[in-house]
């Protein structure tokens, strides 16, 4: 099987090839997590780090702007990681949400959801301001990115942010997700993260569904559904309030 045949085969099926590559990398990353770190660092965190590294080196190698997707053989990653599948993820997450389930978290769960979203947004805005951003659109988008890497681009698209600012918002959310994945197992005991109620509050405060689920899986797999419950609402709540309430507040403060 020569290179020309492989290139022609992939050229007709770039998206399928992208899914195959992601599947293989995910399998390898989870194997690394299990056998090397003994699940102390979840496979999802390892996979995200590997993905970021590949995107970086792909962009450097080609001088392009789409990371690994700038290499013709891996062009399917542009679609796989694009807005279409991102929006599908948001919609599918929303369909899995039931308000009756949120009531099980009680007042603490609801408060953690509001406090977690507001705190992440404020921290994101503060960091953006510290790095020289002063316009309302950029501050709102990067602040939303600190909520989650899904809320960031959704908010940026809604308020008319540039692609560069939207990319920064995604980066902020990814950094947060990785941090939550890695730190959760180490902070679980001192933070009392040992029961379903605590997991629900934790999911509401941290919010990143992937980070919370992976971190709890590395801590105690039995806590994952409870943390993911409020974390799922967190993403939807952020998509609702950041482009509306968040933007209005930023407009009032920064003009």
Residues 193, 146 share a domain: yes
Dig out the tokens for 105 from the structure.
């978290």
Give me the residue label for tokens 């013709």. 72
In this prediction the pTM is: 0.72
Inform me whether the pLDDT recorded for 83 exceeds 80. no
Residues 71, 30 share a domain: yes
**pLDDT cut 90: percent of the chain above it:** 18
Whether 169 is in a domain gets the answer yes
Considering only CA atoms, which of 93, 49, 46, 41 is closest in space to residue 215?
A: 41
Whether 89 is in a domain gets the answer no
Average pLDDT, whole number, for the chain? 81
Mean pLDDT calculated for residue range 135-159: 90
Q: Band the pLDDT of 122: cuts 50, 70, 90.
A: very high
Inform me whether the pLDDT recorded for 98 exceeds 70. no
Residue 72, exposed/middle/buried by CB under 10 A (0-12, 13-18, 19+)?
exposed
Q: Band the pLDDT of 9: cuts 50, 70, 90.
A: low
Q: Band the pLDDT of 91: cuts 50, 70, 90.
A: low
Inform me whether the pLDDT recorded for 89 exceeds 80. no
Return the number of other C-beta atoms located less than 10 Å from residue 177's C-beta: 24
pLDDT at residue number 27: 93
Mean pLDDT calculated for residue range 36-40: 78
Whether 156 is in a domain gets the answer yes
**pLDDT cut 70: percent of the chain above it:** 87
Q: Band the pLDDT of 141: cuts 50, 70, 90.
A: very high
Residues 109, 234 share a domain: yes
Whether 201 is in a domain gets the answer yes
Whether 198 is in a domain gets the answer yes
Among 53, 81, 109, give the residue marking a domain's end. Answer: 81
Among 81, 112, 145, give the residue marking a domain's end. Answer: 81
Range of the domain at 58: 3-81
Whether 86 is in a domain gets the answer no
Residues 196, 146 share a domain: yes
């Amino acid at each position: 099987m020569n290179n020309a045949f492989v290139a022609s085969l992939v050229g007709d099926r770039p998206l399928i090839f992208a899914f195959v590559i992601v599947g293989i990398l995910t399998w390898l990353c989870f194997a690394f997590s299990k056998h090397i770190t003994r699940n102390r660092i979840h496979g999802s965190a390892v996979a995200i780090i590997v993905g970021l590294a590949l995107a970086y080196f792909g962009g450097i190698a080609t001088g392009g702007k789409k990371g690994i997707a700038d290499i013709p053989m891996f062009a399917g990653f542009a679609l796989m990681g694009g807005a279409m599948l991102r929006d599908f993820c948001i919609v599918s997450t929303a369909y899995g949400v039931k308000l009756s389930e949120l009531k099980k978290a009680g007042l603490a769960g609801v408060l953690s959801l509001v406090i977690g979203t507001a705190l992440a947004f404020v921290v994101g805005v503060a960091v953006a301001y510290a790095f020289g951003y002063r316009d309302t659109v950029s501050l709102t988008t990067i602040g939303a990115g600190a909520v989650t890497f899904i809320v960031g681009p959704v908010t940026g698209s809604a308020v008319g942010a540039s692609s560069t600012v939207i990319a920064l918002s995604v980066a902020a959310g990814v950094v947060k997700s990785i941090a939550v994945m890695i730190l959760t197992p180490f902070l679980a005991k001192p933070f009392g993260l040992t029961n379903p109620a605590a997991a629900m509050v934790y999911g509401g405060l941290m919010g990143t569904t992937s980070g919370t689920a992976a971190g709890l899986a590395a801590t105690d797999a039995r806590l994952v559904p409870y943390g993911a419950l409020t974390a799922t609402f967190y993403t939807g709540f952020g998509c609702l309030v950041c482009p509306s309430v968040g933007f209005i507040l930023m407009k009032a403060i920064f003009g």
